Amino acid sequence: MQPPVTFLQSVALGFLGLGLFIGLWYVLSVSGFVPRVFLPSPGEVVDRFAVLMERRFAGATLLGHLAASFERFAYGFLLAAVVGIPLGLLMGWYRLLDEIVSPLFDGLRFVAPIAWVPFAALWFGTGIGGPIMIIFAGAFPPCVINAYRGAKFVDPRLIEAANMLGTPSLRVIREVLLPSSVPSIIAGLRVSAGLGWQSLVGAELIVASAGVGYMMVQGQANVSTATVMSGMVAIGLVGLALDTILRLIERVILRRRGLEH
Amino acid sequence: MGVIRFDDVGRIFGSKAKGFVALKNIDLEIGDREFVAIVGPSGCGKTTCLRLVAGFDHATSGTVSVDGTPVKRPGPDRAVVFQQFALFPWKSVWDNIELGLRNLGLRAAERTERIGAILDLMHLAPYAEHFPHQLSGGMQQRVAIARAYVLDPDVLLMDEPFGALDAQTRVVMQEELVRLARKNPRTVLFITHAVEEAVYLADRVVIMTRAPGRIKEVLDVASIRNAEDWGSHEKIEDVMDLESFVHLRTHIWRSLREEKASQDV
Amino acid sequence: MSRRILIGLATLAVVFVLWYTATTVLGLIAPGRFPSPAETWSALVHIWDRGYGGGDLVTHALHSLRLVVLGFLVAIATGVPLGLFMGWNRRAEAIINPIFLIIRPIPPLAWIPLAILWLGLGDGAKILVIWFSAFVPSVINSFAGVRTIERPMLEASFMLGTPRLRFIQEVLLPAASPMIFTGLRLSLQASWTTLVAAELVGAFYGLGRVLNVAQQDLYPGMILVGMVAVAIFGWGTTRLLGMLETYTLRWNTAALAARG
């Protein structure tokens, strides 16, 4: 069997890997093996990133673009959660609703969020509505599905216990069904945020006049690879931060219920 | 052939200073074709002993050797039967048994002969083309035993092999193992926490202490078995009814209870 | 099960009736916003007979399909072996992991501008983008597939003295295959999404191009035709993969039982 790798060894090897990656990048760029215009050196990307933080490009600084992107994301994500979670819960509790909505849902689910872009462009032009709609398309399914699963797969014994104790229906929903669905809902929110953020990027490439995706397209049109790469880094960082925060929230909630494993 | 020796064996998990001492000063010799069972409280290191012989683990002090050669890595000379069967679900019964023989480089004709023989011996012939998931737990373990036996190993290592089976199947398997061992004797190291199982099957029973695991006592069952002629009884329940059997079993229980009591304190 | 199908069909029928009523009969939805059934049909006929955006429906669809399949195959041919290797070899994992951690958070679609910058609007750029996005799920899931192999099974194969090549072929791969297939499914999904997006941004052929041109022409009927075509082909390829998975994993009763 493979000899185990100690923590220190894995950190060292990690640095080695990272170093090789950046080193290779640097060599390919600086040597001119890959034309500078296509592959700026790591240093140039960092420089460009710093410049973009200060100076405007394509209408705003990098932070300005990020803010615009995040605003759309927030609207789309919240809309998806506010509509999707109750819908999912109701579908999980009421079988008839499930049977009616499910086929529609399954059919639409197959359409990638990005495919809604033409309609979004048609209806909203390059306004804020377009990206919000695409984000909604991406963030909506996980919200529904996870709320549905949380509602449907409640431990039946909990319901039996509540009934045995003579609990009125509304209270059963409020104090048994809802709380037991929370872990699944939270997990859904995390996936949903990830998909929503990804869909946002796609949307902004096509139907936006501000935002990081838009900035990247402009960078591409101006053949400024460093700008494009800066955009990618910014998007990645925000996405990572979002996911980390949501994971923490998820863990806190699960821990309070003793469900952490 | 198949002589196992533990020479002042110790196993510490983690650092030498603060690690968990699983085994301490284990000295044991298992002779050619001897059936030895190890019993003990949970965490006493009995499975670790088996894993050291199997080559899945290494001693931190002392030597574990088979026929004088220190154990370095796993191999078909020390065949293992696992508690969880560990059959390959994507292979048929035949293919599962065949893999080890292919690794040994046997020719197809000889493989077919050997596999056919073991299938007959273990009443598995009608299931040769079945897949593990189509078989009951008891049958799967039979396949696992067949897979080990067909290698003609010097040593057979069985790690709580009947632990995952229900009570009735377990009894049937114990009887079968006795039959098999009589027909095809070889050195067996058998780990179990079921005392009766150990007494029924083994020539000697080793009782281990709780962690750090040491050998508390070694009981000679074979001489009592021969003296009281347990072998004349066909059924397991008849053997377990004998006074000599009960006496041994109770002795071991008492010994283990001491270990458990000192653990709970 | 059939009750579900019946209600499903009934729902679809109701939706269709609502669609027809809202657009054609009542004119609730302006024709410029969302196409009526008639408009959609005429758009379908248009692209089938006379072609649109540079080719007929079949040309566009096959072009997209070709790119998806090519990109997908390249992604899994590189991703699965890498994932397996990282899963098996802890040193390799330690070295490669940080690079992954950096690349992972970048959404697949965010690679599109870079790919266009490097390779233009042709097929090469599309395949590059598909590779970027489909590569990661294959690696991650193949990795997980190796890591979740039960220890007794590995130990049994060593005990049996299995030489390395045979071990990879007859133990490692089959044991990891359920998770490998999960990765394949995700990779295929990513391939389609990324291709359509890339074609939307700019392309000469493909279903995404149809959508793009229809959007610029303000031609809602054609947009709907494009979307449905994308959905159908996406569904079709997923089904094929699913059939391959079911056949290869016939022995995997745990998963079969879970699917019920």
Most confident option among A111-120, A207-216, B69-78: B69-78
- State the smallest CA–CA distance between residue A197 and chain C in angstroms: 8
Which of A3, A228, A236 lies at the smallest CB-CB distance from C113? Answer: A228
| Mean pLDDT in residue range C120-129 | 90
Q: What is the pLDDT of residues B207-220, one digit of tens each?
A: 998 888 899 999 99
State the Cα–Cα distance between residues A13 and B178, nearest whole angstrom: 52
Measured between alpha carbons, how far is B181 from B168 in angstroms, rounded to an integer?
Answer: 20
Average pLDDT over residues A199-213: 85
**Among all residues of chain C, which has the CA nearest to that of A121?**
C215
What contacts B145, CB < 8 A, 6 or more positions away?
B81, B122, B161, B177, B180
Q: Is the pLDDT of residue A1 over 60?
A: no
C2 to chain A: closest CA residue: A99
Q: What is the pLDDT of residue A182?
A: 86
CA distance linking residue C260 with residue C253, whole number of Å: 10
Q: What is the pLDDT of residue C257?
A: 53
Question: Distance between CA atoms of B146 and C28, rounded to whole angstroms?
Answer: 75
Say if residue C186 is in the same domain as residue C61: yes
Mean pLDDT of A5-17: 86
Q: Do B103 and C163 lie within an 8 Å CB cutoff?
A: yes
Is the predicted pLDDT of residue A260 greater than 70, yes or no? no
Q: Is 60 exceeded by the pLDDT of residue C207?
A: yes
Identify which of B83, B103, B151 has the shortest CB distance to residue C162.
B103
Contacts of B99 in chain C (CB under 8 A): 157, 160, 162, 170
Q: A15-52 pLDDT, tens per residue?
A: 999 899 999 988 888 888 888 888 888 888 898 898 88
Q: Is the minimum CB–CB distance between C164 and chain B shorter than 8 Å?
A: no
Based on the domain organization, do C44 and C161 belong to the same domain?
A: yes
> What is the CATH classification number for the domain harbouring C211?
1.10.3720.10
The reply to whether C126 and C6 lie within a common domain is no
Our count of domains for chain C comes to 2
Enter the tokens of residue B116.
């056919």
- A115 contacts on C by Cβ (under 8 Å): 196, 211, 226-227, 230-231
- Would you state the pLDDT for residue C260? 39
Helix then strand count (H, E) for chain C reads 12, 0
Q: Report the residue of C200, C207, C230, C241 to disrupt the A interface, i.e. the one with the largest count of A CBs within 10 Å.
A: C200
Taking the Cβ of residue A236 and every Cβ of chain C, the question of whether any pair is shorter than 8 Å is answered with yes
Cβ–Cβ gap C108/A198 under 8 Å:
yes
CB-CB neighbors (< 8 A) of C161 in chain B: 74-76, 100, 103-104
State the Cα–Cα distance between residues C207 and C226, nearest whole angstrom: 6
Residue C258 has pLDDT above 60, yes or no: no
Average model confidence (pLDDT) across chain A? 86
| DSSP code of residue B84 | T
Contact C253 B147 (CB under 8 A): no
Interface size B-C, in CB pairs within 8 Å, comes to 67
Mean pLDDT in residue range A244-248 = 89
> Who wins on pLDDT, A162 or A135?
A135
What residue ranges in C146-250 does DSSP mark as E strands?
A: none
Neighbours of chain A (3+ CB pairs under 8 A): C
Tokens of A215: 């900035």
By DSSP bridging, strand B204-208 and strand B35-39 are: parallel
CA A71 to chain centre: 14
pLDDT in tens, C61-95: 999 999 999 999 999 999 999 999 999 998 899 99
CB count in 10 Å sphere of residue C238: 15
Q: How far apart are CA B147 and CA B130, in angstroms?
A: 15
Six-digit token pair at C205?
């052929």
Give chain C positions within 8 Å (CB) of B100: 160-161
Measured CA distances, C131 to A74, C79, C134, C191 (Å)? 29, 9, 5, 8
- Interchain CB contact of C26 with A (< 8 Å): no
C13 and C79 belong to one structural domain: no
Full set of structural domains in chain B with CATH: 4-25+38-221 (3.40.50.300)
Full residue range of the structural domain in which residue C224 is found: 33-259
For residue range C21-47, what is the model confidence (pLDDT) as tens digits?
888 777 777 767 788 888 888 889 888
Q: What are phi and psi of A254, to 5 degrees?
A: -65, -35
Residue C255 has pLDDT above 70, yes or no: no
Q: DSSP assignment, residue B213? A: B
CA of residue C167 relative to chain centroid, distance: 31
Q: What is the pLDDT of residues C215-232, one digit of tens each?
A: 888 888 899 999 999 988
Burial of residue B126 (CB within 10 Å: 0-12, 13-18, 19+) is: exposed
What's the gap in Å between the CA of C212 and the closest CA on chain A?
A: 7
Q: How much is the mean pLDDT over chain C?
A: 88
C255: exposed, middle or buried (Cβ count in 10 Å: 0-12, 13-18, 19+): middle
Q: Please give the order of strands across the beta sheet that includes B204-208.
A: B78-81, B155-159, B187-191, B35-39, B204-208, B215-220
**CA closest to C174 among chain B residues:** B90
Q: CB atoms < 10 A from the CB of C21, how many?
A: 13
A57 pLDDT band (50/70/90 cuts)?
confident
Q: Is the pLDDT of residue A253 over 90?
A: no
Separation of alpha carbons A73 and A136, rounded Å = 9
Are residues C17 and C134 located together in one domain of the fold? Answer: no
DSSP H/E element including B35:
strand B35-39
Residues C8 and C131 in one domain: no
Identify the closest residue of chain C to A105 by CA–CA distance: C8
Q: What is the pLDDT of residue A261?
A: 42
Is the domain of C24 the same as that of C77?
no
- pLDDT for B219-228, tens place per residue? 999 999 989 8
Residues on chain C touching B131 (C-beta within 8 angstroms) = 251
How large is the average pLDDT for residues C210-219?
Answer: 88
Q: Are residues C44 and C23 in the same domain?
A: no
Asked if C110 lies within 8 A of A119 by C-beta distance, the reply is no
Amino acid C156: pLDDT: 96
- Chosen for mutation from C85, C90, C219 (greatest number of chain A CBs closer than 10 Å) is C90
To the nearest whole Å, the CA of A219 is away from the closest chain C CA by 8
Q: Are A137 and A113 in contact (CB under 8 A)?
A: yes
What confidence tier does C259 reach under pLDDT thresholds 50, 70, 90?
Answer: very low
Q: What is the CATH number of domain A41-256?
A: 1.10.3720.10
**Mean pLDDT, residues A93-99 taken together:** 83
Please state, in angstroms and rounded to a whole number, the distance separating the CA atoms of residues C219 and C223: 7
Average pLDDT over residues B93-120: 95
Does A169 score more than 80 pLDDT?
Answer: no
C236 at interface of A, judged by CB pairs closer than 8 A: no
Q: What is the pLDDT of residue C254?
A: 58
Contacts 24+ apart (CB under 8 A), B202-205: B202/B35, B202/B36, B202/B37, B203/B34, B203/B35, B203/B36, B204/B34, B204/B35, B204/B36, B204/B37, B205/B36, B205/B37, B205/B38, B205/B39, B205/B248, B205/B252
Is residue B112 pLDDT above 90, yes or no? Answer: yes
Average pLDDT on B8-36 reads 90
| Residue B45 and residue B23 in contact, taking contact as beta carbons nearer than 8 Å | yes
What residues of C are in contact with residue A95 (Cβ under 8 Å)? none
